[in-house]
Structure 1
Amino acid sequence: MHRKGGVVAWQRPRVLLAEDDSEMRRLVAGKLRQCGFDVVEAATGADVLAVVEPVLLDGAPCPVDVIVSDIRMPLVDGFDVLGGLRDCGCATPVVLMTAFADDDTHERASRQGAAAVFDKPFDIDDLCDVVCALAPVAK
């Protein structure tokens, strides 16, 4: 929330979405926007860390309310993103998505502090419900 000319204006919660599949990224970003979120899109895990780490290292709060990330991405994967954020002291909720889920993946995500893991294909409304619970949208 911020004040603009004496009027209180609500800011939409911001979601940082990392997905290397452009079609999946477009679909998820569009649905999150329909649900009332401001969405920042990233094609790689490295892009996520490039956006968030410098801010955190300067001692500022995380510039996003929730991070939604694919796990399997080239070079910097979703687990690297989650670990990098936690190493910087970032407690921002992270929701992971994967097409390659197994029990070990879910256990590792839980150990690293992921808020949720979605196995592709998933119901996009379920993803929106979880993100809304983590960063409610003002109605």
Structure 2
Amino acid sequence: MKDVGTTADVAPECAGEDHGRHQRVIYVVDDNAAIRKSLHFALESGGFTVQSFERPSEFLEDIAERKPAPILLDVRMPEIDGFQLLQNLRDRAIDWPVIMMTAHAEIPLAATAHKLGAIDFIEKPFAIDDLEERLVAAFSALS
């Protein structure tokens, strides 16, 4: 198992049968540049198209024009936290699958994430193959 930040590839089967013809999009919203860079590299190596955002406001800017896709969302950010962003999405009736990420995993945080409709909750640092399994479920939730 390799942690995010290594050169681990996401398995091509995770990208679906259309790998190579249509790339699947994943949105990453995290204020940590190193995490965004690591996820971008690892997921794009696996055939995904990754769109990264440092601030939730950047992500929300053109949300109506964005293609529905899984969102990897950090819990703790300075502008608004991940829970507030998730609530904002739900208030707008945007029910794309969300995987919450945090370096401070606690049961109450996970419970809040699920209550707001996140499909999963993952603790940083995490192995890319662990994330890969969760992304399979996230893409299935889009169908």
TM-score range, shorter-chain basis? 0.7 to 0.9
Q: Could you tell me which residue of structure 1 aligns to residue 46 of structure 2?
A: 35
**Structure with the larger strand share:** 1
The runs of 5 or more residues in structure 1 that have no matched partner are 1-8
TM-score of the two chains, using structure 2 as the length reference: 0.77
Q: Percent identity?
A: 30
Q: Could you tell me which residue of structure 1 aligns to residue 132 of structure 2?
A: 128
Q: How many residues are paired up?
A: 121
Question: What amino acid is the match of 1:130?
Answer: R
Return the alpha-carbon distance in structure 2 between the equivalents of residues 132 and 73 of structure 1.
Answer: 26
The runs of 5 or more residues in structure 2 that have no matched partner are 1-19
1:41-73 Cα offsets, whole Å, 9 max, x none, are 100122222231xx1xxxx7x523111111101
Matches within 5 A, 1:1-139: 10-52=21-63, 55=64, 62-135=66-139
TM-score of the two chains, using structure 1 as the length reference: 0.79
Larger radius of gyration: 1
Q: Is contact 1:45–1:80 with CA below 8 Å preserved after alignment?
A: no
Return structure 1 stretches of 4+ with deviation > 3 angstroms: none
Larger RCO of the pair (alpha carbons < 8 Å, separation 6+):
2
- 1:19, distance to aligned residue in structure 2 (A): 1.2
Return the alpha-carbon distance in structure 1 between the equivalents of residues 74 and 128 of structure 2.
Answer: 14
Question: What amino acid is the match of 2:123?
Answer: D
